[in-house]
Structure 1
């Protein structure tokens, strides 16, 4: 049985929650392998809408075990609040597993994130201010706090002291902020120990044993390919690896066990936060995409920047992730346009460029080269098969598939759980 990776093939917000939830009833484990509560999924089940920020989407599927892997950074207060909210709505959260090696977002990480971003002014990255970046920095600097540290007060105190030695110097002398007391942080973190204890596990062992027993494991990435710390539009990126390789390090499962890599593509393109965006629209079309598509960040509440489909970044996502399939979402949003532009290449300093430029400078100056495809006016939300789609919608999907370099195996034609056309099974 397969281990699958499901990830965003653009700048995030492609509809991964819908895709994960669609598969959740057929898989045994759904694993978040990176990021934190800076990611968000909206999942619609019947007439119920669920906004998930940190929890894997599989938590809404009975019989599925949701897992927060070692590559995730965890804000305990956010996690417990999210669990409480789901419990109040009758969702069983008792199967959740959290890696003891996942890093904790501490109060000082959140403080550092906010004051640093303000200090940058016009050069700010556009972070969510939730402490994600500083927590990953602590991890790399080997002064991070892990979930397992909550169960040894001596080790926890030593690690907090080590982290605050430097941070308090920075906060007081550079940012003119008050120093943070070690005892206060330790006391606050210890409050979470008993509350998280029922969920903490050796998830690397659990997942590898599950695969050895022919269980189906789905690895779910947050954000998207173009926000990857190594392969995204640096420095306007997240602090982790949403790309397929991140699933191996962020969950502790070897690459030879991954059998399929599914990229989620929106039928157009959106982005939240700062950074280059070649197909971004500043006109009525952009506003229409935002309004019809409900393009507001689940976690941030910020309006998403909207633009036409960019085949250049789709091809790039296919390459760096080794994508085997695409799940195309929000095709229904494009209903009503007479013609739909698709970016097939860039013009950079008078040159036509068909692959993503590695140079940050070139990408900042890239202008989209569009090909016009005929649109459709028919309502496609009730379509159950590819042949039910209008001919022009079929042609649009086939064109995107050819340009992107991997087969489109499923199409989202509405926000609901059942509003999906499955062309090829992912399992």
Structure 2
């Protein structure tokens, strides 16, 4: 048995929810290791849809322990609201099945406000990033700036005022520069004190908790949010999220050593999408792009924003395989391609007339690259619900094999619909 890390290999929205749910049924512990409530999964279980944006997927399955690691930034009010929403769907969440890292950073109202102020200012200057305005980035800034309020601080209201003062020294200086009114010490203290009793029962020393489970032989599933191309270091900077989304963050964001990570599963859509601003070499702004968006229901789980759609970019996924150390991929939404006469796959780029095999890191260069395509024949038969290779059209199999060859990683799972059982299992990540 091995532990499994699930990461997105593109710009997020690859269909991780279904795959994580499929894996979480067989895991003992499910750990969320980065990001905030700006990304989400939709789980469909027995015909019921559960939309999660902060809680690990394991919470909807009885007998599983869900863990929010120290690499996550937590809006405590959003956390409680999500718990209450699931309770309304009949899912009971208690300290028996959810633990939150004591050293995780909190998102406060002033983070959300700063996020929106900056994004509005950027919209006017043409440098908009496309954030969800939920305070994720500013919270990570405070974490790195060593002035963050953490979950454990809610347990010591006597020392909290000095920490709030330190935080406000920074934020009120920013707000004065932006021409905004200052935030009062009292308002932040009230914001934190009113939620403390709801959050603290879930608090735990997560690195120690996970180490004990590992030593007992528990199967641990590490669940990431967003995708590799949104990584703060390895993504299309500055049009990225504010955390590391790659597999290595599973260790840093949970307190487990990298030797415990095991199988790295890259969730990979059979075409490409992204939300928000930034480069997208294979984007289709034509009828085929509209077809992919409509057939694939390409709208954000959390924000509802329409996703940009394009052909599969093997050069990008090949980069993701390298920086994550991906063992195998779960290829999702193959069925969305049903009915197209031909399919294109990007195998590299031209930059100023020179062929290159990877996306350059420089923003200006990313904006100038031109995709180099190969063309494959499409298929007219339906792949929806296929559960074996024999159920797939020959051209669909050829497409999958071409993807494997181009990205340098095998397909471990193939998803053919949102239903969890409509999956072709090639390699079991927990047994590899």
TM-score higher than 0.5 here?
yes
2:300 aligns with: 297
1:288 maps onto 2:291 in alignment: yes
Alignment correspondent of 1:26: 26
Contact 2:4 2:263 in 1 (8 A): yes
Indicate if the aligned counterparts of 2:2 and 2:219 stay in contact, CA closer than 8 A.
Answer: yes
CA offset digits 1:99-154 (Å, max 9, x no partner): 01111001111111110111122111111100000000000000001001011113
Cα-to-partner distance string for 1:378-414 (whole Å, 9 max, x where unaligned) = 1212311122111001011110011111110101100
User: How do 1:17-416 residues align onto structure 2 when only pairs under 5 Å count?
Assistant: 17-94=17-94, 95-121=97-123, 122-172=126-176, 174-416=177-419
- State the shift of 1:208 in Å: 1.0
State the alpha-carbon separation in 2 of the partners of residues 45 and 252 from structure 1.
Answer: 30
The alpha carbon displacement at 1:286 in A equals: 0.6
**Does the Cα contact within 8 Å between 1:46 and 1:417 map onto a contact in 2?**
no
For residues 89 and 424 of structure 1, the distance between their equivalents in structure 2, rounded to whole angstroms, comes to 33
What TM-score do the two structures reach when normalised by structure 2? Answer: 0.97
- Alpha-carbon separation, structure 2, partners of 1:278 and 1:92: 44
Corresponding position of 2:2: 2
In the aligned structure 2, how far is the partner of 1:248 from the partner of 1:389? 37
State whether residues 46 and 416 of structure 1, in contact with CA within 8 Å, keep that contact through their aligned partners in structure 2.
no
RMSD of aligned Cα (Å): 1.0
State the distance in 1 between where 2:119 and 2:386 align: 45
Tell me the CA shift for residue 280 of structure 1.
0.6
Cα deviation, 1:189-238, whole Å, max 9, x if unaligned, reads 11111111221111110111111111000111111000001111111111
Instruction: Give the distance between the partners of 1:19 and 1:388, measured in 2 at CA.
Output: 20
Whole-Å separation in 1 of the counterparts to 2:283 and 2:385:
30
Partner of 1:14: 14
Residue 12 (structure 1) shift: 0.4
Report the alpha carbon displacement of residue 309 of structure 1 after superposing the two structures with TM.
0.3
1:361 offset after TM fit, Å? 2.5
Higher mean C-alpha deviation, range 209-218 or range 55-64: 55-64
Q: Structure 2: how far apart are the matches of 1:268 and 1:46? A: 27
Give the match's secondary structure for 1:127: coil
Please give the per-residue CA displacement for 1:225-253, whole angstroms capped at 9, x wherever unaligned. 00001111111111111101111110001
Partners of 2:386 and 2:128 in 1: CA distance? 44
* Alpha-carbon distance in 2 for matches of 1:258, 1:239: 22
Q: Distance in 1 between matches of 2:309 and 2:61?
A: 31
8 Å contact 2:154–2:200 — kept in the other structure? no
Tell me, yes or no, if the aligned pair for 1:385 and 1:423 is still in contact at 8 Å. no
Count of matched residue positions in the alignment of Structure 1 and Structure 2: 426
Cα deviation, residue 166, structure 1: 2.1
Q: Which runs of 5 or more residues in structure 2 are unaligned?
A: none
CA distance in 2, matches of 1:61, 1:312: 36
8 A contact 2:236–2:361 mirrored in 1: no
SS of the aligned residue for 1:123 comes to: coil
Q: 212-221 or 152-161, which moves further after superposition?
A: 152-161
Q: Is the 8 Å Cα contact of residues 151 and 200 (structure 2) preserved in structure 1?
A: no
Q: Deviations over 1:270-325 (max 9, x none)?
A: 00111100001110111111111000001111101111100001100000000001
Distance 1:16 1:333 in 2: 16
Moved more, 101-110 or 59-68: 59-68
* Unmatched tracts of structure 1, length 5 or more: none
- Secondary structure of the 1:188 match is helix
